[in-house]
Chain A
């Protein structure tokens, strides 16, 4: 049956049909739904790993055990997993290994715009690149065949527009190959110098054989039209090229982007008068063609930065692009914001108020950098906050540590924060680290992690106790605050900055969007009390605005978190539930069905 399927869902369908038995991934936009969709098949074991490196190594183990395995990640995730990848290229596989990496040209939800094809080339791992959902399904199945035939892990590269577009797919049946027996093979699987030296020539030979295969493989496809112009392209760029030209020009569509064919490209180039390479991000196909001595256009016409579209390509290649009506009006931007009731808001308000230097990390809370809070000084990569505060304080002549904090989410802490924390504990910088524990991986759409006590299917799982972990690493000062309680946040931040030893503050309150979180009734403003001082506007809550000089609360957005009313000098906010919220900072945690923390920050036995 034909159905409309998200590229990522088609990827998961491909895993299912190819008989993949083991999936281990870390969420990252735009790759997350591959693993979420795979987890809906009961026949595939699926898990969220703490990070991409762990996920890839787990896949290697599953492959050793003789099963087809998969791990998925976003482009920057592959940097984290690069260590196992580059050597798995040497060991090869037992059961096939497929790796998804999803690039984000245009940076819809990423901190950089790197081109993952560089990793495929550098690690000498083959890479397939589909251009829509149907091709994604087909390429994943092919990838497992190639992985086992050529004894290599294989990367299937997605991009935002393939991963997050739905197109028509026809699903097939699942075929599970028999589990391959595990056989001890030291020269192949123990990569110490003597063995690795013998595997390297195998890798070089394998890539040569794959390149030969690519010359005639159906994944690289010539579509001859008029020979005045020939375009070499791949992925979503192929779709844009076809949108502009239809069947009018000649196209060489590349499906295997590493290794690239040679003869196929030369023959294609010989048939056309003018050759242009159309590829998003870096000039990788272009440089390959130039090395073959071909004359062509590429990045001289098309940008390296940002994603492409049909109009962009049309204009760059001298064709007419459509134009729409233009409005002579300044339309205010609508940037993403922390949600109403977001637990991060109270904590970031506290940091802003105390004029802290805030070394940030990757997650929803990066939005703490946005006005009016503007409470962030740095965001680099997963876990970077804790490692950086150590250096910042050590080199800060005793001044930085008086006002600097690192902030990191619970999932990001599990991903890459622990090793940075070990450095703070070991080399003893006087650093204050705040773990923003919202009990979920928020940014990517609510995935479980090792601190939530639930697995990918929502069933009970192991649960890591953050307080106990930090204490075990040598922190004497570990305390828990409720970020809805501004006075408690203020006291915690001031005290921990003041003390002369490293400390951890856990700001704990589940994400306001979690289904199990019970909200208070929305607040409203008593207009006769409101003096229009705008104190409540300092927290940047999307539910509050000023209308005719007075604060107004949007009743459809407000979740009654009560942070705004703590800032009001005239008590103009009203809610019947406010006493219950603020009387005891642990009450809301209990109300949310989570274990509460006592004053010493030790987590009690909870439900």
Chain B
């Protein structure tokens, strides 16, 4: 199988680590060669952050480059737009509609662009934008945004739901499992 690429993008501190951990586990259990690449350190301090997840028969590069992502999963709308050029032709964007102002917008040096979903769609990209914060709250915790997004991603992934649940059971603490399962379902059916 040709290597498939998933990018998880967001703002430092939004909790993309659990999402990449879940994906990594899922894909490894499914028998794929997997590489997950993340960046630590200064860029994590409220900056734009990206995690690359790659899987297939044999994965070489740990990173994803422009025009290569089969999926971009975004925790924040502007970040989906920032990484748009990494999307492969026919690739799918799954994004939270939450907007977090970056410092240039806060200080008034720049504007947060309007109608980003429509503008991304106008480039031919397939964009699925959902209110993950609302769904996560419905599931029981705003912190479950990552699992809501994974639930939505599962909608496009050729992988049985039992495999996702099994991976979740392996990495989520038992006391949060039910809440996360609910968040996953809400995301999947959004």
Binding site for B on A (CB under 8 A): 2-4, 29-30, 32-33, 108-109, 132, 160-162, 164-168, 236, 239-240, 242-243, 309-312, 321-339, 364, 366-367, 370-372, 443-445, 537, 540, 542, 544-546, 556
Q: Is the CB of A322 within 8 A of B42?
A: no
Q: Could you say which residues of chain A place their CB within 8 Å of the CB of B62?
A: 132, 161-162, 165, 167, 236, 239
Q: Is the CB of B36 within 8 A of A542?
A: no
Q: Is the CB of A161 within 8 A of B123?
A: no
Q: Is the CB of B43 within 8 A of A109?
A: yes
Q: Is the CB of B81 within 8 A of A331?
A: yes
Q: Could you say which residues of chain B place their CB within 8 Å of the CB of A30?
A: 40-41
Q: Could you say which residues of chain A place their CB within 8 Å of the CB of B69?
A: 324
Q: Is the CB of B60 within 8 A of A242?
A: yes
Q: Could you say which residues of chain B place their CB within 8 Å of the CB of A132?
A: 35, 62
6 nearest CB pairs, A to B: A109-B41, A322-B67, A29-B41, A336-B47, A165-B62, A325-B123
Choose from B41, B60, B104 the contact partner of A332 (Cβ within 8 Å): B104
Q: List 7 A-B contacts (CB under 8 A).
A: A32-B40, A109-B42, A164-B38, A164-B39, A327-B84, A537-B108, A540-B106
Q: Is the CB of A4 within 8 A of B24?
A: yes
Q: Could you say which residues of chain A place their CB within 8 Å of the CB of B44?
A: 336
Q: Is the CB of B42 within 8 A of A108?
A: yes
Q: Is the CB of A168 within 8 A of B61?
A: no
Choose from B89, B104, B113 the contact partner of A333 (Cβ within 8 Å): B104
Closest to A367 in B: B45
Give Cα A109 to B102, complex, Å: 19
Q: Is the CB of B142 within 8 A of A556?
A: yes
Choose from A109, A166, A326, A334 the contact partner of B36 (Cβ within 8 Å): A166
Q: Could you say which residues of chain A place their CB within 8 Å of the CB of B35?
A: 132, 165-167
Q: Is the CB of B42 within 8 A of A161?
A: no
Q: Is the CB of A337 within 8 A of B61?
A: no
Q: Is the CB of B40 within 8 A of A332?
A: no
B88 CB-CB contact with A under 8 Å: yes
Q: Is the CB of A168 within 8 A of B41?
A: no
Q: Could you say which residues of chain A place their CB within 8 Å of the CB of B41?
A: 29-30, 108-109, 443-445
Binding site for A on B (CB under 8 A): 11-13, 24-25, 28, 33-48, 59-63, 65-69, 78-79, 81-82, 84-89, 91, 101-113, 116, 119-120, 123-125, 142
Give Cα A540 to B109, complex, Å: 12
Q: Contacts A108-B41, A166-B36 known; A243 to B111 CB distance under 8 Å?
A: no
Q: Could you say which residues of chain A place their CB within 8 Å of the CB of B123?
A: 325-327
Q: Could you say which residues of chain A place their CB within 8 Å of the CB of B33?
A: 168
Q: Contacts A108-B39, A325-B85, A326-B84 known; A337 to B28 CB distance under 8 Å?
A: no
Q: Is the CB of A545 within 8 A of B101?
A: yes
Closest to B76 in A: A334
Q: Could you say which residues of chain A place their CB within 8 Å of the CB of B106?
A: 537, 540, 542, 544-546
Give Cα A544 to B103, complex, Å: 10
Q: Is the CB of A370 within 8 A of B40?
A: no
Q: Is the CB of B120 within 8 A of A327?
A: yes
Closest to A166 in B: B36
Q: Is the CB of B42 within 8 A of A336?
A: yes
Q: Is the CB of A161 within 8 A of B102?
A: no
Choose from B61, B124, B142 the contact partner of A240 (Cβ within 8 Å): B61
Q: Contacts A165-B36, A243-B61, A334-B82 known; A364 to B45 CB distance under 8 Å?
A: yes
Give Cα A108 to B84, complex, Å: 21
Give Cα A540 to B103, complex, Å: 7
Q: Contacts A332-B105, A334-B79 known; A29 to B45 CB distance under 8 Å?
A: no
Closest to A242 in B: B60
Q: Could you say which residues of chain B place their CB within 8 Å of the CB of A312?
A: 65
Q: Could you say which residues of chain B place their CB within 8 Å of the CB of A546?
A: 106, 108
Q: Is the CB of A168 within 8 A of B28?
A: yes
Say how far A444's CB is from chain B's closest CB, in angstroms.
7
Q: Contacts A166-B36, A323-B66 known; A240 to B60 CB distance under 8 Å?
A: yes
Q: Could you say which residues of chain A place their CB within 8 Å of the CB of B89?
A: 324
Say how far B96's CB is from chain A's closest CB, in angstroms.
14
Closest to A106 in B: B39
Closest to B32 in A: A168
Q: Could you say which residues of chain B place their CB within 8 Å of the CB of A29?
A: 40-42
Q: Could you say which residues of chain B place their CB within 8 Å of the CB of A329?
A: 81, 113, 116, 119
Q: Is the CB of B39 within 8 A of A322?
A: no
Say how far A369's CB is from chain B's closest CB, in angstroms.
12
Extra contacts besides A322-B65, A330-B113, A542-B106 (6): CB < 8 Å = A239-B60, A321-B65, A327-B119, A334-B47, A336-B42, A556-B142
Closest to A307 in B: B63
Closest to B28 in A: A4
Q: Is the CB of B85 within 8 A of A337?
A: no
Choose from A165, A333, A337 the contact partner of B37 (Cβ within 8 Å): A165
Q: Contacts A372-B107, A540-B107 known; A309 to B65 CB distance under 8 Å?
A: yes
Say how far B180's CB is from chain A's closest CB, in angstroms.
19
Say how far B106's CB is from chain A's closest CB, in angstroms.
5
Q: Could you say which residues of chain A place their CB within 8 Å of the CB of B34?
A: 4, 166-168
Give Cα A444 to B45, complex, Å: 11
Q: Contacts A335-B102, A335-B103 known; A330 to B110 CB distance under 8 Å?
A: yes
Closest to B84 in A: A327
Say how far A602's CB is from chain B's closest CB, in angstroms.
33
Give Cα A311 to B45, complex, Å: 28
Closest to A162 in B: B62
Closest to A241 in B: B60
Q: Is the CB of B63 within 8 A of A161?
A: yes
Say how far B187's CB is from chain A's closest CB, in angstroms.
20
Q: Could you say which residues of chain B place their CB within 8 Å of the CB of A322?
A: 65-68, 88
